[in-house]
Every structure is written in C-alpha cells, then in structure tokens.
A and B are shown apart, each in its own frame.
Chain A
C-alpha cells in the first residue's frame, strides 16, 4: 500500500435514460463494481466517482454543487460519463437534474457546462452514443446523442461511444481502464462511429455459432427453434459487437444463445432502422456487407 494513488475524478450524469447502463455496470465482475468504486482499478490509479445519482449517498442541492465544483475545480482533469440521450426540445425542459438556488438545471445545460472542460467524455449506452429509443420516431422530446449535441453546440472534447442497450460491463470498464492506462484513444483505436475497436470490430454474424446454419440455408421459422434466425429478423448481419464470443452476465448466455434474434441494439439508428424487430432484413442491406443469402 506504499504506492501513491492518483485520483482520477469522474462524474456520471443521466438524461433521457432508463438506468439500464448503470445497472449493467453493477454487473461487472473482474474488476467488480466494488473494485471500480473503492480500489485502484489499475495500480496507483483510482477513479473517484464524485457524482452518480443512483449510487451516491447525498441528495438535493449539495450533490448538484458537486457537479459544478468538479467542472470549476478540476478543469481538463475529469472524465464525464453520460447515460441517456439529451432532450433538446423546449429548451431542454423535458429533463432536469435538480435545482440550484431554486432554479431547475436542465440536462442540456449541465451537459454543455460539464462537457467543455472534461478530459474526455464517455457516452455509455446507445441513447447517449446515438440517440437510442428516446430519439425513436417521432422523437417527442428532441432527444439527441452526445455526438450530435457536441456538433450543435460546437464542443470538441474527445468523445468515446460505448453503445449497447445496455452496454456490456466489460465494454465500459475496459474503456475506462484503457484511458487510465494509455490516456486518450488514438485515431485507430476507435471506428468511424467512435466505438473502441477492441469490442466493436467484428460483425456479430461473422462470429455467430449459428453461422453454419446460415451458410447451409437452414433457417428457424420461430424463436426457440434451432437454425439461423435470419429469416425471423435477426440483426446480427448488421451489428458490430463481440457478444458471440464474450457472452453476457458472467458469460452464461447471450441473446442469440437464448434462441432470440439480435435486435441490433449497439447500432446507430436503433430502434428505427431495424423496425420491425422481428422482420427479416432486406437483402439490399446484406449486399452492403457482401453477405450472400441462399
């Protein structure tokens, strides 16, 4: 314990979210969430999570001030983690995070304030990465991703997208560890959608244990049947993530493993691009990926 521990301040804020990304983070195993909160995640490096509304002890105005103080006292030093989309319609009034001096603080305003001076921003989950379900048609609250919010507001803080509805805990913890170990990702570390290639480089379809059924033209007609799920709407041929090899919740299963179609939850434009979720992908989509159908 003689090693000096450097504190890396971090804050986690949630906009148009369901808390599913937070709950998924609780499912981390090695390191566990206990390790992430309390211990140095890597030797000599501890993430000091100063704000997370679902976890933190305090409430009310004092905790909102923690957010403001982090921005003013640690400029350029803190990591901003964002769960959920940013509602922008009606000047952001669809989501407020709390009150300071009797005035409501919107998610939109808090995002702008915190993002500008952050060391890096991690968009946790598909809503913050690409808009997700809150931005689904007709997008009643004008919900946007962090990426789009940055474009609108002219913010250029380094951004990493960790999509998934929810994201796998390894994707979140692994990306945090990457930043602690190596600093900001290099250009080649992220794909064009700003996802870490470590986790999102391969098409689910290419690594699917049911791929042989696809190649042999053996298709399931209903969920729960053996065979490739392509004919009943599997979005694996369009979705990039390492689910087929990583599996979920301590590796015990995953969507396709349980006999259900992939719904493409890691991709931009989820859920609209893949609606209806149980309808077969059109073959033009497959053409783009050079996948042949029988």
Chain B
C-alpha cells in the first residue's frame, strides 16, 4: 500500500518549500519538490538601468546576496566589454567579499539550518558546568517555553548528553562566528546583507592597511573555529550517523562554474583560472570541460508553455498554471540533457578529478579518517563534508589574497553603458552554479535571466521524465517512521536549498495554487 508524506513547509532552509513523497513498504518510490513563493525579479528588472541589476539581484536572496552581486557584475562587465579590465585590487576585493560570505553561509548552514536534526538541545537541561551561555540556555529550558526549539521530529538523536551539550555550545558560538564573517565582509563591502561595494569594473572601496589588518585578524579567528570546531563537529556527526553516507545519493553527475577568480586578464569565464575550477563530472571518473551552450532548460513538468529544452538565454516561455503535467514553477536545467547536481560536493568532485592538489589532499585525508571511499561522498554526509572542507580551503586562501592587495592602486575600471549588448556572468554560489544573462537595448535591460543553484538541485522531472537531483536523492530512501520522516528533511537540508533564488520570474496568469518556486 502506498502512502503520501507531505512536508510543507520545509523549515531551516532559505525560503518556502514543500516535499511530497510517495512511500511503499516504508521506501520512497516517487518524490516531488516544489517552491511556494514567486516574486518575479526578471520581470521587475526589465527596462531598468543595467547597473541597477547588481543592487536588485542581491535582493533575490538575503543569505547569498554577495554572489548574486558578483554574478551580476561579471554579467555587466562582459556586456560592457570590460571583463578583462578589472584591476587586480578589484578582483581580489570581490573575492574577499564573496569569500567572507561563503564562510558565513557554510557555517550558518551546518549549525543553524542543519544541526538541530542531529543535536538534542534538550540535553542542556541537565548541564552542570560554568559556561554562561549554556547556563542561560538551561534557565530558558527550565522556564518551560521551548519555542522555537519545539515542536520537532522526535526519534533519532544519537549523541550522549555531554556531546549534545558541547555541540549546543558550538551552535551558539557559531552564531557569533557567522556574524564575525559578515563584519569582516563589511570592512570592504559597506554593509551586509546586501553589500554596496561590488560594482561593474571592480569595487568602490579602497584597501587600506588598517582594513587589511582588521580583515586578517577576524579571518584568523574564523580559521581557528573552522579548524578546531566546525570540521571536527562534521566528523563527529559523520562518525555517529555513518548510515548517512549511504542515504541521499543524487544523480551522480556534477557541474561547477568554478569560483574565486585568480586571473582577471582572461575575459572568458568558462576557462579563466579560478580557485575552484570549472568542469563537468558525469560519474566519478570522467571530467569534461564546461561548455555553457550544452545547458538547456526543460519545462515539461513546469507550469509553462513554449519551446522545451532550449538554452536559458533563448527562453521566452509563457506560464500556464493549468498545464496537466506541471507540478512546479521551477524549470529543469540539464547539461547535455542529463541531470546534474551543483554545490560544494559537485565543486569538490570536479576539483578532485582536475587533480587540484589542496582539494585532493583534504579529501583523501577526510576519507581516511572516516574510512570511506569516494563513492560514499555522493550522500547526505558527503555534502556536509565537502562544505566543511571547502570552508577551510576558502578561508586559508583568503589569508593569502588579503596580502596581495596594493593600497593606493586602482580598484575599478572605467566603462560606458553600450546602446546594445549581451552579457553572461557565471560563478559558483555557496549552493552551486549560478548564471546571470543580460540583453541590453537603448542602454536599458531588455531581458535578464537567472539560472540559480536550487533550480538545478530542486528541479522537477524533465522532458525525458528524469527526476531532479533532490528528487533522485529522496527516491529509494527508507522512512523508518512516517510520522517523523527525519530522513527526508536531512536529505533536503544536505542540499542547502535556497527557494527565494530558484524560481523563474515570468508573469503568471491563472488560479492554480501553491507548489511554486520563486525568485
């Protein structure tokens, strides 16, 4: 007998999301994920000054505004013909702003969006030590109003009392650490969320010695936390929940646009040198060069009419909320027609296959410690491990970049807005591959298109009925207790979905409710 499990809303993610799973004999046979908010950014952008795209697209997502700002400026740089003219100071400062938000986002994701699925905060009720924060949490529990920590799914908290208490302390410390990462970003970014400093041509802020030193010492604190708390905590979770190395495997194909420009002299974003390289891995052995012409978006199961499976820059589809086969506002981006996962795991698989020395060393050491093989990384825990190791790689690299800044030298290139032009900005966000495309006419935005990470990961079935990466990760999962389907939310959160980003923004007419994904 089959039953349907609906989880709506999925909380502790960015935005509004729903999961429906069809379960037979406790095993998920089919799954659909949908977003439930639509704002229409691409429509709102039409007719505006192209430069406003940098400010407006940051507001697509308050968790990752820095990377939307970066993708938008790469897009505008290319449309303005200055993609190869951003001065080194501008390139490095953009990397530092983006890197600071990577650290912020990954720490937030593991501790504040994920940890409550594994760590039992209630264990602090019996705390007997002298830590001020834990004692105030103990008082909180004793007062009896336990929101927002209950209600919750019960049944699979495996750590002992002392470890739960220690990890709860880290949850609280991590709030301070992610805040510090934003503070560090603001030294050069002006403010966060929604920084002011990243603009076409480079940045607005100058590197001065006091800012460089202030940045470096905040970064040092974060690096200490990453090395001595974050990574050990991910290992602790992996050791006590080892079954999650075989739960939640996705499509097995991975795509990376690469991130953190190390060379500003090449105007081609698909080949320029980046800390994390561009590439496509179909399986865990074959690596291909990235060719953005191989990207298509299917609308077969999305509420749109139009030509199916064409390149995002060519799309002009019309919504049809009564479309019979539709069940999502998210489209289905595919590469060479195949389903690809994006995000930290995808970046690390691509980097590993590229022979990236630091990635290889870190991954191999991690696999030794956890006694796993590379195939086990395609899982809930593999995604968390890749995210944690990546946080360290980015933070360590930033410590080198900050010293490459040259106070007094230019931070921004001059430009003219062309009468007509086209542009593309591709870069990996903390959650995966992010693409912005623009068409300019009469110095204004004629068309703006975004294909964001959760569009890839949260996509519905495509024209060949292939389920999206998250759907594939749900299918085949054993749900031990359908009343408390913690396996499903752990899988969903391992992808770090961002729903505010993932829905396209065409105008919609019709009455069909819900199941929307939004931008």
Contacts and interface: CB of A to CB of B under 8 A. Distances in A.
A294 to B, nearest CB: 24
B48 A166 contact: no
A95 B44 contact: no
B183 A250 contact: yes
A221 B206 CA distance: 16
A145 to B, nearest CB: 14
B197 A258 contact: yes
B7 A95 contact: no
B258 interface: no
Contacts of B148: 37, 49-52, 55-57
Nearest to B147: A50
A253 B191 contact: yes
B360 interface: no
Contacts of A279: 49
B511 A90 contact: yes
Interface stretch (B60-68, B342-350, B382-390): B60-68
Interface string B183-226: 10111111111111101001111100000001000000000000
A96 B204 contact: no
A138 B44 contact: yes
Nearest to B500: A18
A23 B193 contact: yes
B133 A277 contact: no
A223 B414 CA distance: 10
Interface in A259-294: 259-261, 263, 265, 271, 275-279
A27 B149 CA distance: 20
A249 B183 contact: yes
Nearest to B121: A57
Contacts of B179: 26-27, 29, 32-33, 250
A246 to B, nearest CB: 11
Contacts of A26: 108, 112, 175, 178-179
A18 B204 CA distance: 24
A252 to B, nearest CB: 5
Interface string A224-260: 1000000000000000000000001110111111111
Interface string A130-171: 001110111111010000000000000000000001100000
Contact of A54 (B6, B7, B12, B508): B12
Nearest to A262: B196
A17 B59 CA distance: 9
A249 B175 contact: no
A21 B63 CA distance: 10
A97 B507 CA distance: 21
Given A26-B175, A141-B40, A224 B151 contact: no
B16 A64 contact: no
B191 A39 contact: no
Nearest to B198: A260
Contact of A99 (B18, B37, B56, B202): B18
B16 A258 contact: no
Nearest to B516: A94
B510 interface: yes
A206 interface: no
B501 to A, nearest CB: 9
A222 B414 contact: yes
Interface string B82-114: 000000000000000000000000001000110
B81 interface: no
A56 B62 contact: no
Contacts of B205: 224, 253, 258-260
A62 B48 CA distance: 43
Given A59-B489, A141-B39, A20 B65 contact: yes
Task: Please provide the 10 A-B residue pairs with the shortest distance between their CB atoms, ordered closest to farther.
Answer: A20-B62, A258-B190, A276-B49, A140-B40, A259-B204, A260-B196, A249-B186, A248-B191, A56-B148, A57-B152
12 contacts: A16-B37, A20-B62, A26-B112, A27-B183, A39-B139, A52-B148, A56-B147, A90-B510, A94-B38, A249-B192, A250-B179, A263-B196
Interface of B: 6-16, 18, 36-41, 43-44, 47-49, 51-52, 55-56, 59-63, 65, 108, 112-113, 116, 121, 133, 136-137, 139-140, 143, 145, 147-153, 172, 175-176, 178-179, 182-183, 185-197, 199, 202-206, 214, 411-412, 414, 489, 500, 505, 507-508, 510-514, 516, 518
Given A39-B139, A97-B36, A260-B197, 20 more contacts: A18-B59, A20-B194, A27-B192, A32-B179, A48-B145, A54-B12, A55-B112, A57-B149, A58-B152, A60-B7, A60-B8, A63-B11, A97-B9, A99-B514, A134-B44, A139-B44, A224-B202, A248-B186, A255-B191, A260-B190
